[in-house]
Amino acid sequence: MFSWLGKIVSACWRPLSRYARMNKDDDDVVDGLLWCRDLEKHCYGEFSFAVVQANEVLEDQSQVETGNGGTFVGVYDGHGGPEASRFICDKLFLHLIRLARENGTISEDILRGAFSATEEGFLSLVRRTCMIKPLIAAVGSCCLVGVIWKGTLYVANLGDSRAVLGSVGRSNKMVAEQLTRDHNASMEEVRQELRSLHPDDSHVVVMKHGVWRVKGIIQVSRSIGDAYLKRPEFSLDPSFPRFQLPEPLRRPVLRADPSICTRVLQPNDKFIIFASDGLWEHMTNQEAVEIVHNNPRAGIARRLLKSALNVAARKREMRYDDLTKVEKGVRRFFHDDITVVVTFIDHEMLEKKIFVPEVSIRGFIDAVGPSSFNF
């Protein structure tokens, strides 16, 4: 049934420096913390992929898996450290492959199963290592996944990364449709959901330093990891005051069950932008869709990143080329780690069986790694 991932076709990738390669007509300063893959093929079109680092250790992890059977995109925005996002990048797709083979299909339930298995696996890792590294209990990650299979798009999300569809509406105008729900306490509906789930906890959401946070600590309400907010066994002792709860945990305050959107792709659906929240802090859904629509495909993910960084620089009254000289770690005061994958949908390819190289690409890693699994 599936022919997605087998042997890597060695000739299908071009080595790319972790330094962004700019187009000939692009005279901006090269940013040594920006990585990109400018246009690659997937089974329903092409995709563009870019990552920029801001933290001392990159907490965004990401991957694109392509082949004749389907396309998989994963964006994992870590917090508290890189361990959870790296774990998801290593494990979630493998769980999806295993469950898809066992059931002979891709479905919303298969996606939920892959998320659940990844969550349980990471909590097991926390249990094994928390005695020597207690703060791993406070490491977590948002998780955004997109799967295109048999002309259907499945999007699953935990946290505030976002998938936005660009489609042609009336009068041939581009329309931005957000396919994901932001699980962030800044949203009134999320605060209401938390209060309804925890009616006996008046501190389940707290305004702190002008920002709504779950238990006064974290903004996202769903994640992989963050074990100390899910199970009492992972509570941190008072030597870590930042993660102290006002009272003992009686039930999980964060969830790991994703919101899922399923959509049969239509002829007017042109592309999907998958991005961590670092992009959306600096532009609206419609602005992002217009940038993609009005510019060449090649390098479009990098262009979105640079547009966001230009806005971040202006907010601090500096120029973009000055921002590119700021070192990682310090750079986090200006913007977050940002990951962008733009996946174009060429509908003529939905009807044809066109050979597509089976490739596994991870963000910020120069080489395409071999797959250790098959459909």
Which of these, 103, 137, 136, lies nearest to 1 by C-alpha position?
103
Residue 265 lies in a domain: yes
Residue 213 lies in a domain: no
Torsion sign (Cα): 349, 61, 257, 2: positive
CATH of the domain at 67: 3.60.40.10
- Strands (DSSP E) along the chain, which ranges? 34-42, 45-52, 60-66, 71-79, 140-141, 143-149, 152-158, 162-168, 174-178, 205-208, 211-214, 224-225, 259-264, 269-275, 338-344, 359-362
Residue 322 lies in a domain: yes
Q: Angle, to 10 degrees, between the axis of helix 300-315 and the axis of helix 285-293?
A: 130
pLDDT at res. 2 = 41
Residue 328 lies in a domain: yes
Number of structural domains in the chain: 1
- Phi and psi (nearest 5°) for 302? -65, -40
pLDDT at res. 353 = 64
Residue 52: both structure tokens together = 């920029």
- Structure letter (DSSP) for residue 97: H
pLDDT at res. 351 = 66
- Judged on CB neighbours under 10 Å (0-12, 13-18, 19+), 200 is exposed
- Phi and psi (nearest 5°) for 249? -70, 125
* pTM: predicted TM-score of the whole model, two decimal places: 0.90
pLDDT at res. 194 = 96
| Distance from C-alpha of 244 to C-alpha of 336, rounded to nearest angstrom | 25
- Judged on CB neighbours under 10 Å (0-12, 13-18, 19+), 299 is buried
Q: Taking the CB of residue 267, how many other CB atoms lie within 10 A of it?
A: 10
Residues in the chain: 375
User: In the block, which residue shows the tokens 């921002």?
Assistant: 323
Residue 234 lies in a domain: yes
| Distance from C-alpha of 334 to C-alpha of 312, rounded to nearest angstrom | 6
Task: Report the Cα 342 to chain-centroid distance in Å.
Answer: 12
Residue 255 lies in a domain: yes
Residue 210 lies in a domain: no
- The alpha carbons of the chain give a radius of gyration, in whole angstroms, of 20
What's the average pLDDT block by block, 10 residues per block, for the chain (375 residues)? 34 31 40 89 92 95 89 97 97 96 94 98 97 96 96 97 95 94 96 94 92 95 97 90 85 96 96 98 98 96 97 95 94 96 88 74 70 41
Residue 283 lies in a domain: yes
Question: Which residue segment(s) compose the domain that 166 sits in?
Answer: 10-184+220-362
User: H-type helices in the chain, by residue range?
Assistant: 83-103, 108-129, 188-197, 277-280, 285-293, 300-315, 320-323, 347-351
| Distance from C-alpha of 265 to C-alpha of 177, rounded to nearest angstrom | 13
| Distance from C-alpha of 21 to C-alpha of 36, rounded to nearest angstrom | 8
Q: Write out the H or E segment, with its range, that includes residue 154.
A: strand 152-158
